[in-house]
Structures are given as structure tokens and as C-alpha cells.
Structure 1
Amino acid sequence: MALTDMALRNAKPQDKPYKLFDGGGLHLLVNPTGSRVW
């Protein structure tokens, strides 16, 4: 699944950090503070 711009913008912080994967080895880490890191 490719990560779209809209999917990244809609990634909301949760109680614990979580990752969104693109299926090609790239992932986005979403932290509880709302920061996002590739």
C-alpha cells in the first residue's frame, strides 16, 4: 500500500508511537506528541 499525502496528513497521535508502512520498506513514525519522522 502506497502512503498518500492525505493518509500522512490524517495520521493522528495516539497514546503510544505507531508506524505507517508503505510496503516498500519505508515507514512513517507518528509520536504521541504529534511529530512525524520518516
Structure 2
Amino acid sequence: MPLKELEVRYASRRSKDYKLGDGGGLYLLVRPTGSRLWRMKYRFDVSAKTLPQGSAQAA
């Protein structure tokens, strides 16, 4: 299920990193510092990889 803009905007920081899934391997990583990073998880051959997509700007 895709994330809504308000879910991304109001994702609050916690004591540990956590992920909000957007579907198809894309997720928003929320750091304890409050930064939000888009990441894409994928497989190449047998190993799992993570591709950074950029940051989500807080308004």
C-alpha cells in the first residue's frame, strides 16, 4: 500500500531506525535524528542490495 504524503511528513523520530514501506521494495527510512531517506531494496544475482534514492524534505 503506497504511503500518503501526510504519513511521510509526520513520521516522527524514535530511539532506533524504522522503515515505512511504500511497495515494490521502496521504503522510507526514518532515523533517530529525524532525517528521512528513501531507499530501494532489490536483488542482484543472489545477494540483496539497497539503493539510496534521496531524502524526504520536511516542510
TM over 0.5: yes
4+ aligned runs moved over 4 Å, structure 1 = none
Runs of at least 5 residues in structure 2 that lack an aligned partner in the other structure: 39-59
What's the C-alpha RMSD, in Å, of the aligned pairs? Answer: 0.7
Aligned residues: 38
Runs of at least 5 residues in structure 1 that lack an aligned partner in the other structure: none
The share of aligned pairs that are identical, in percent, is 58
TM-score normalized by the length of structure 1 = 0.90
**Greater helix content:** 1
Higher relative CO (CA 8 A, sep ≥ 6), structure 1 or 2? 1
**Greater Rg over alpha carbons, structure:** 2
**Greater strand content:** 2
